[in-house]
Amino acid sequence: MSERASSTGSTASFRGQITLDGPSGTGKSSVARGVAARLGAAYLDTGAMYRAATVAVLDAAVDPEDADAVARTVAAARIEVGTEAGTELVLVDGVDVAARIRGAEVTRNVSAVSAVPAVRRQLVEQQRALVAATEAVVVEGRDIGTVVLPDATLKVYLTAAPEVRAERRAGQLGITDPAEVAALAEDLRRRDEYDSSRADSPLRPAEDAVVVDSTDLDQQGVVDRIVELAASAVGAGDRS
């Protein structure tokens, strides 16, 4: 049996939660989808929820830095996301915003909206309810291992060198102009700094997270590594 077949086989009955946190462009979304597909697990993109909240704020013409107004606007919005690995369902008040949440305006403003404690409380509650409805799930974000699911079966913190992350994001967006790639790298750096230094639930690895550096691994290599870690985590759980 090949290594991949054996690792898939040993985790076919995976039950539990895998958290995947880390900065932008490390491969969280693509790797989380890959792991969920391999394990037959659900998938929750919590960044999509903060991006959807940002759409609600922008549509209400509220200043993203005005925390009280942001909190009121998001509390009044109905944010819905799907947990099926193969689809991307993101709705704000019943309107499909799956494409819009990836746009530059949302990306520029999402860190400010996601730093508002009331917004985090609201979305974390929703995330826990979505997870509670699953038997097996891969959840990606910034505070999943530290705050949302402190008792997860496996916690992974994904990193990669900043220049590699910027190149990956540029490739994803089809950007080739060196000046635009440099601007993108600066945007990533600014957002990571904002996300890591906020008072409420800053981006950082959980103490019990396994750090996986994807700088020199391709996407499949990262998926394989996490599937292996999941198999070990389930085995360790069986023995305890």
Q: Report how far residue 74's alpha carbon sits from residue 113's, in angstroms, rounded to the nearest whole number.
A: 9
- DSSP E strands: which ranges in 36-94? 42-45, 79-81, 90-92
Please state the closest distance from residue 220 (CB atom) to ligand ADP, in A: 8
Binding-site positions: 22-30
Q: Which of 172, 182, 193, 211 binds ligand ADP (CB under 6 A)?
A: 172
Please state the closest distance from residue 80 (CB atom) to ligand ADP, in A: 20
Q: Which of 74, 143, 146, 223 binds ligand YYY (CB under 6 A)?
A: 143
**Does 24 interact with ligand ADP (rule: CB under 6 A)?**
yes
Q: Report how far residue 144's alpha carbon sits from residue 43's, in angstroms, rounded to the nearest whole number.
A: 13
Q: Which of 27, 82, 141, 145 binds ligand ADP (CB under 6 A)?
A: 27
Q: Report how far residue 18's alpha carbon sits from residue 2's, in angstroms, rounded to the nearest whole number.
A: 24
Q: Which is nearer to ligand YYY, 34 or 141 (CB)?
A: 141
**Does 88 interact with ligand YYY (rule: CB under 6 A)?**
no
Q: Per-residue contact track with ligand ADP, 181 to 220, x per CB under 6 A?
A: ---------------------------------x--xxx-
Q: Which of 19, 111, 146, 153 binds ligand YYY (CB under 6 A)?
A: 111
Question: Which listed option, ligand YYY, ligand ADP, none, makes contact with residue 134 (CB within 5 to 8 Å by class)?
Answer: none
Would you say 133 and 193 are in contact if contact means Cβ atoms under 8 Å apart? no
Binding-site positions for ATP: 22-30
**Does 47 interact with ligand YYY (rule: CB under 6 A)?**
yes
Residue whose C-alpha is closest to residue 114's, from 30, 209, 196: 196
**Does 34 interact with ligand YYY (rule: CB under 6 A)?**
no
3-class SS of residue 21? strand
**Does 225 interact with ligand ADP (rule: CB under 6 A)?**
no
Element (H, E) at 20: strand 16-21
> What type of residue sits at position 135?
E
Backbone angles phi, psi at 51, to 5 degrees: -65, -40
Q: Which two tokens stand for residue 80?
A: 């819905």
**Rounded to a whole number, what is the largest CA-CA distance in the chain?**
57
List interacting residues with ligand YYY (CB under 6 A): 24, 28-29, 46-47, 50-51, 110-111, 114, 141-144, 191, 195
